[in-house]
Each structure stands twice: as C-alpha cells, then as structure tokens.
Amino acid sequence: MSKLLNKPLGDHGRIHHVTPENAGWGYVGFDLHRMVPGDTASGLSDDKEICLVFVTGKGHVTAGGKPLGLLGERMSPFEGKPHSVYIPAGTDWHVKADTDCELAVCSAPGKPGSHPVRVIGPENVGQEVRGKGSNVRHVTNILPETEPADSLLVVEVITPAGNTSSYPPHKHDQDDLPQESYLEETYYHRLNPPQGFGFQRVYTDDRSLDEAMAFENGDVVKVPKGYHPVATCHGYDSYYLNVMAGPVRIWKFHNAPEHEWLIKA
C-alpha cells in the first residue's frame, strides 16, 4: 500500500491522525473524529490555528471558554453545506456530539490572538462549479484565501460519478510566487454509495514520486508534492475535504504542461 494512503484506524473515536511529524512535512495537520451521541472531542490549539468541519452530524461546540451552540445539520457530506468553526492559535475547544457525527480537525501554524473565534455557517461559504463535461465538480469554499486566517485553506469538493477532479493535473510544491506557491495538502475521501472506490495519482515531473492509489470510503491521501488528480468510477459520487497550508497563504498552482490543452478544449 502506498505510504501516501491512510486507512481509518477504526470505526469510532479519532480514526485519522495526520501531523507534520508523522507526514514528514512542515505545515498541515488533519484529524477525523467519528462520534456517537454523547461522545466528546477536545484540544488546545497551542501554536496552530484550527478549522473544525462538521462533515456530518451535529454537536455542541465551545471555543475559548465560550459556548457557540449546536452546530451542524447535514447527515451526509453529499447533502448541503457544512458548519465549521475557525479557532485561532492558543485557544481551547470542545465538541460534544448530539447525533452520530464526523468531525474534521484541520490545523496549520498560527499566531495566538491574530484572529477571533468565528462560526462559519452554511450561509458564509461560497459554492462554484469548475470544469466542463466529464471534468465538472462542485466546490464549497470553507476557508479560502479571501477569508482571514494565518495558514489554513479548507475546501470541499463533490465530483459526480465517472468524472475527474483536481484535473487537469496541477501542483503547488514550489515557493516561487507569483508563479507557484508551496502548499502541502490532505484529501479526506467519502463515496456515495459508500462501498465504492476511486483513484488518485500523486506524481512529480521527474517521476521520483509516482504513486497511484485506489481510495475507499473514509481514506485520507497525503500530497507532499507533485500533481494529484482524482478519478471517480461509474455509479459512485466522490466527496473530499481538502486541507492546504504552506509558508504563504496563497493558492497558486502550476498545470502539467502536457495536459494544459484540456483547459482550452
């Protein structure tokens, strides 16, 4: 199995735990908590800012000692927009599940006190359609670069069955602005129906990294560098939650030159 593909650690509790230390990079962290009613998840952000995303379900959220109420409403990531919470560095947080719940904890370096805690409700996130034909996908911008944060970029993408996504292949692994930014990235994959699978390839121009993976429902793929296209299979819609971070909070990517003709086709 590819070293970039993380299978769930179980079906309850913290089932994913990606850190800069165990991923071998410098910025992105990603945890996924699968909870039943009454379960709790908590943490202290220390020197990392956090974006909590209710992938599914509802929970009572407290951050910095202040209750934020019952958040979340969708019971499937394929239905509606998410509830999320931005939590600055140096702030404690706590979530108690009200229903079955999948809570993503997205993290990256931050400066204590640089931004306030804020709820990012469904009404606060924009949606867009990218691509044409069999390259169409539906994007929900949870924490784009136009919204305040120190390092984090967080986005959801739904790709219809049989379509490609993160395609034509692009990369963002060079700190070479304004041409390209360096951003590490994680993909948390879900499928509908859940017994499906899809494919993701992560590769560099010189093929020193070239991994092709079949991901299943609940898997995480790490993208330390290189191009990283996704392909769905007939009958199975794809959802993924992306977390990106790097030294500069700008998403500036470079398309694989041999495939750029697809953009103009």
Residue 78: pLDDT band with limits 50, 70, 90:
very high
Q: Reduce the DSSP state of residue 11 to 3 states and report it.
A: coil
d(CA 3, CA 20): 14
The domain ranges of the chain are 5-264
Angle ∠(227,8,230) on CA atoms, nearest 5? 25
Residue type, 62: T
The β-bridge partners of 254 are 171
Residue 65: count other Cβ atoms within 10 Å of its Cβ: 10
Residue 153 carries which DSSP code? E
pLDDT tens profile 198-227: 999 999 999 999 999 999 999 999 999 999
d(CA 23, CA 171): 18
Superfamily covering domain 5-264: Jelly Rolls (2.60.120.10)
Residue type, 78: F
pLDDT tens profile 103-142: 999 999 999 989 999 999 999 999 999 999 999 999 999 9
Burial letters for 126-148: b for 16+ Cβ neighbours within 10 Å, e otherwise?
A: eeeeebeeebebbbbbbbbbebe
d(CA 185, CA 168): 17
d(CA 247, CA 9): 30
